[in-house]
Structure 1
């Protein structure tokens, strides 16, 4: 979980939330505040993915792949789905949708 990783990495380096915000802002020209870090560590709010990448880079960690958490509205017929760069045939899409809905039509 991001909140736990952020807090653990910051404490591992004996940094205050304010010091971390200052360091991030200097290195990455961001406008991260101490209160933002506090909310992220508490899990009150989630940071934008761009901030997650910055923080993971700062701590020398591999950033999570945001593509793995992408959400798609299965009811949206305008969503273009592909596999290995090729469009998925409509009949296969319906099978996939049914599978993802747990067998429901």
Structure 2
């Protein structure tokens, strides 16, 4: 693995997930331009990295370069509308998520 910066890793995974850096920042509870500061020499705080990692579905260790493994085994609460779920790097449309929920409930609609 090449020596990428934390910013470059965030940018790479964001692109793979079909998200802009601004979207990742907002979904991570940060200001829209927060991530861009990491490219200007600002060191991210651990809590910020954890929020970004959770948004992108990777580990903090991947973002900091401690590992090249982007896989993060994660349990997802399907009721959490703030979680970005992807399949093959593309966001899953809300109507498909609803279908997945129904299938996981055994075909029952949740009214």
Q: TM-score, normalised by structure 1?
A: 0.47
TM-score (normalised: structure 2)? 0.45
Identify which of structures 1 and 2 has the higher relative contact order when contacts are C-alpha pairs closer than 8 Å and 6+ apart.
Answer: 2
Between structures 1 and 2, the one with greater helix share: 1
